[in-house]
Amino acid sequence: MSELSGGPCVYDPKGEKALTILAKYGLLSRVSLSVRELVEETIPWAMAADKQLDANKKYKFVHEYVIACNADAMECMAVESYKLGMFPVKLNSTCSGDIQEFAREYVKMASLMILAVEGKIDKLEMFQEMRDSPVCPLTDEKVQEIFPAKDHWGLGLCLLLGGRPTVNLCDEPGLGGPNQELALYFSLYWYLRTQQYPILREYTVWFLGGSSYGKDGNTPAAGAYGYKSLSTDVYPEFEKAKSAFNTAHAKWWKLNEERRFRSKIAVNLLFSSRSLEVSLITIELPYCESREIFDQFD
This prediction has a pTM of 0.58
Query: Distance between alpha carbon 233 and the CA centroid of its chain, in Å?
Result: 21
Among 23-27, 129-133, 294-298, the least confident range: 294-298
Q: What pLDDT band is residue 111 in, cutting at 50, 70 and 90?
A: very high
User: Which pLDDT score is estimated for 85?
Assistant: 87
d(CA 81, CA 65): 28
User: Which pLDDT score is estimated for 292?
Assistant: 47
In the predicted model, what is the mean pLDDT of residues 246-264?
81
Q: Is pLDDT above 60 for 290? A: no
The average confidence (pLDDT) of the chain is 75
- What H or E segment, with its residue span, contains residue 166? strand 156-166
Q: Is pLDDT above 80 for 210? A: no
Residue 206's CB is within 10 A of a number of other CB atoms, namely: 15
Which residues pair with residue 206 across a beta bridge? 227
CATH placement of domain 70-239: 3.40.1480
| Predicted confidence (pLDDT) per residue in 46-98, tens digit | 666 677 888 887 888 887 777 778 888 889 888 998 898 888 888 888 888 88
User: Which pLDDT score is estimated for 255?
Assistant: 84
User: Which pLDDT score is estimated for 226?
Assistant: 78
Three-class DSSP category at 212: coil
Q: Is pLDDT above 50 for 285? A: no
pLDDT more than 90, % of the chain: 4
Which residues pair with residue 96 across a beta bridge? 164
In the predicted model, what is the mean pLDDT of residues 248-255?
87
Q: Is pLDDT above 50 for 101? A: yes
Q: What pLDDT band is residue 108 in, cutting at 50, 70 and 90?
A: very high
Q: What pLDDT band is residue 252 in, cutting at 50, 70 and 90?
A: confident
Q: Is pLDDT above 60 for 16? A: yes
Q: What pLDDT band is residue 281 in, cutting at 50, 70 and 90?
A: very low
| Predicted confidence (pLDDT) per residue in 20-50, tens digit | 888 888 888 888 887 777 777 656 666 666 7
Q: Is pLDDT above 60 for 296? A: no
DSSP 252-277: HHHHHHHHHHHHHHHHHHHHHHHHHH
Return the higher-pLDDT residue of 223 and 81. Answer: 81
Could you say which DSSP state residue 4 is in? H
pLDDT more than 70, % of the chain: 71
d(CA 252, CA 255): 5
Helices 99-117 and 123-130 sit at what angle, rounded to 10 degrees?
180
Residue boundaries of the structural domains of the chain: 2-51, 70-239
